[in-house]
């Protein structure tokens, strides 16, 4: 059985580095145009070049999203962009629109074409049709069950990709118009305002200004607010379904999120292939998934059709069990001091956890901390302040310091 690719989101260059160093086989990202995350940071042309070079230096892959539903004006600017991506050597373009697919074949002939989940890929006939037209991979819709995915695998030779973790869109395969109607921001051209996460109440036609909770809750209700997908506890079923790539959602999520989720899935996948017959889900992986900001977890459509239990009606708030407080930039083996960029308030006496790309993690108390002038300090309160911290054990660049909430 072939080990599936672990595919991670990269909203900017820092997140790309973290995703790859913490174990992703490939990353997907967007340029400044033509993608569905206009507010996800994204990469300008020079940054795209840097991203491709760094990714390829690790013998890993980078996929670029070109998955908006374009209008005529968009098509006028698209050929030059596709040519540039082809010249850079990106490994694939993620597309949803048939016109963009056609342009991709014409203007990026050396680049694989992957069909985005936005194309509503829910049956084997559609998957094979894309393959017949030249698609190298098809991303399956989130609205599919395990049995449906297995059936597609049996009937299709093209590579298959599926989401295993992250936010669930309440609209079918992400084709939502709520944002368009309520804010004028087009979700299918990259500008979704996420009104599905807003708080709603009921207003009766002849009682304007009187708002009634849809649910019996004085706070109103979040009637469109889905839980997040998480399939790590069911990894054997996912792998044995025969898909080629396991995709994590979240180009707009934090560096901490990307590193933690990627490493948990990396370790779980590798552990499964080391000994499939005796594979078990480790509690530490599940705890890792809880440490980052997330909504309560669900399996989505994978085993059953979602019910009210897969929604969060009382709140839109996230939950997490730890805070990201610092990022290791460098480590001096002789002195045992690490150079750390502050990401949240840190002070002497606090216990922190060191979470690392390759080395084992550990916990320690902050006992010595110095500012960039070598002056001892008790607290690092300034955003992205550079400090020196005495480490209890060796650490590596891009290790994360975090504290329990």
8-26: average pLDDT: 97
Q: Residue 311 has what pLDDT?
A: 64
In tens, the pLDDT along 50-78 reads 999 999 999 999 999 999 888 898 899 99
DSSP codes joined into one string, 105-167: HHH-TTSEEEE-GGG---SHHHHHHHHHHT-SEEEPPTT--HHHHHHHHHH--SEEEEEEEE-
- pLDDT score at 213: 58
Weakest-pLDDT range from 40-49, 73-82, 237-246:
40-49
19's tokens:
């995703």
Average the pLDDT over each of 94-103, 297-306, 328-337 and give the range with the smallest value.
297-306
Q: pLDDT, tens digit, for every residue of 276-322?
A: 999 999 999 999 999 998 888 989 889 988 776 666 655 556 789 99
State the pLDDT at residue 218: 42
- Buried b / exposed e along 245-279 (16+ C-beta atoms within 10 A): bbbbbbbebbbbbbbbbbbbbbbbbebbeeeeeee
364 Cβ contact partners less than 8 Å away, ≥ 6 residues apart: 351, 352, 354, 391, 392, 393
Average pLDDT of 69-88? 94
Token duo for residue 292: 């980052």
Assess whether pLDDT exceeds 80 at residue 402. yes
3-state secondary structure of 180: helix
pLDDT at 251: 85
Longest distance between any two alpha carbons in the chain, whole Å: 76
Mean pLDDT of 106-113: 98
Angle at 317 between CA 225 and CA 165, to 5 degrees: 65
The bridge status of strand 297-298 relative to strand 379-380 is: unpaired
Confidence of residue 174 (pLDDT cuts 50, 70, 90): low
Q: Percentage of the chain with pLDDT > 70? A: 85
At 220 the pLDDT is 44
For 345, residues 6+ apart whose C-beta sits below 8 A from its C-beta are: 325, 379, 380, 381
Report yes or no: 93 and 108 within 8 Å, Cβ to Cβ.
yes
Q: Is the pLDDT of residue 191 over 90?
A: no
What is the average pLDDT across 107-123? 95
Q: Using N-to-C axis directions, what is the helix angle for 45-57 and 13-21, rounded to 10°?
A: 10
d(CA 233, CA 364): 29
- Spatial contact of 37 and 65, defined as CB atoms under 8 Å apart: yes
Which are the contacts of 289, defined by CB distance < 8 A and separation ≥ 6? 165, 230, 232, 260, 261, 264, 297
Task: Tell me what pLDDT residue 32 has.
Answer: 85
- With a cut of 70, say whether residue 189 has pLDDT above it: no
d(Cα 161, Cα 153) in Å, to the nearest integer?
11
Give the residue with greater pLDDT, 315 vs 100. Answer: 100
Cα(91)–Cα(85) distance, integer angstroms = 9
Q: Convert the pLDDT of each residue in 348-400 to its tens digit.
A: 999 999 999 999 999 999 999 999 999 999 999 999 999 999 999 999 999 99
> So what's the pLDDT on residue 86?
98
What residues contact 374, with CB distance under 8 A and at least 6 apart? 388
| pLDDT computed for residue 301 by the predictor | 87
Residue, of 140 and 175, whose pLDDT is higher: 140
Report pLDDT for 216.
39
Angle between helices 72-88 and 98-107 (to 10 degrees): 40
Q: Which pLDDT band, with edges at 50, 70 and 90, does 194 fall under?
A: confident
- What does the pLDDT read at residue 238? 98
Mean pLDDT over residues 76-101, rounded? 96
pLDDT at 215 over 90: no
Is beta strand 92-95 parallel, antiparallel or unpaired with respect to 337-342? Answer: unpaired
Question: In a 3-state reduction of DSSP, which class is residue 169?
Answer: coil
- Average pLDDT over the chain reads 89
């Amino acid at each position: 059985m072939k080990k599936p690719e672990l595919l991670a989101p990269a909203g900017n260059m820092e997140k790309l580095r973290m995703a790859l160093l913490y174990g992703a086989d490939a990353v997907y990202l967007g340029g400044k145009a033509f993608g569905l995350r206009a507010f996800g940071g994204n990469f300008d042309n020079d940054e795209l070049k840097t991203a491709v070079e760094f990714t390829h230096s690790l013998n890993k892959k980078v996929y670029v999203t070109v998955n908006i539903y374009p209008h005529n004006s968009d098509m006028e600017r698209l050929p030059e962009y596709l040519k540039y991506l082809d010249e850079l050597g990106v490994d694939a373009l993620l597309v949803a629109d048939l016109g963009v697919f056609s342009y991709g074949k014409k203007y990026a002939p050396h680049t694989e074409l992957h069909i985005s989940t936005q194309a509503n890929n829910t049956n084997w006939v559609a998957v094979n049709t894309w393959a017949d037209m030249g698609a190298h991979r098809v991303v399956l819709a989130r609205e599919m069950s395990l049995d449906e995915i297995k059936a597609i695998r049996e009937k299709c030779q093209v590579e298959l990709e599926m989401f295993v973790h992250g936010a669930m869109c309440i609209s079918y395969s992400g084709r939502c118009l709520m944002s368009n109607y309520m804010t004028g921001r087009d979700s299918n051209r990259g500008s979704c305002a996420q009104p599905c996460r807003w708080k709603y109440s009921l207003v009766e036609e002849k009682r304007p200004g009187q708002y009634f909770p849809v649910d019996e809750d004085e706070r109103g209700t979040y009637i469109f607010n889905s839980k997040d997908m998480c399939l790590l506890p069911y990894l054997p079923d996912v792998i044995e379904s025969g898909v080629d790539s396991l995709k994590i959602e979240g180009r707009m999520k934090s560096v901490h999120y990307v590193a933690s989720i990627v490493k948990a899935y990396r370790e779980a996948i590798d552990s499964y292939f080391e000994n499939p017959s005796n594979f078990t889900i480790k509690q530490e992986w599940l705890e890792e998934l809880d440490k980052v900001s997330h909504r309560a977890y669900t399996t989505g459509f994978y085993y059953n059709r979602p019910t009210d239990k897969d929604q969060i009606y009382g709140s839109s708030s996230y939950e997490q069990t730890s805070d990201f407080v610092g990022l290791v930039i460098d480590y001096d083996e002789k002195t045992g001091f690490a150079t750390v960029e502050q990401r949240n308030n840190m002070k002497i006496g606090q216990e922190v956890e060191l979470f690392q790309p390759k080395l084992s993690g550990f916990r320690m108390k902050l006992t010595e901390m110095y500012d960039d002038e070598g002056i001892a300090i008790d607290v690092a309160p300034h955003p992205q302040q550079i400090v020196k911290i005495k480490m209890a054990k060796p650490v590596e660049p891009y290790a994360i310091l975090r504290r329990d909430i």
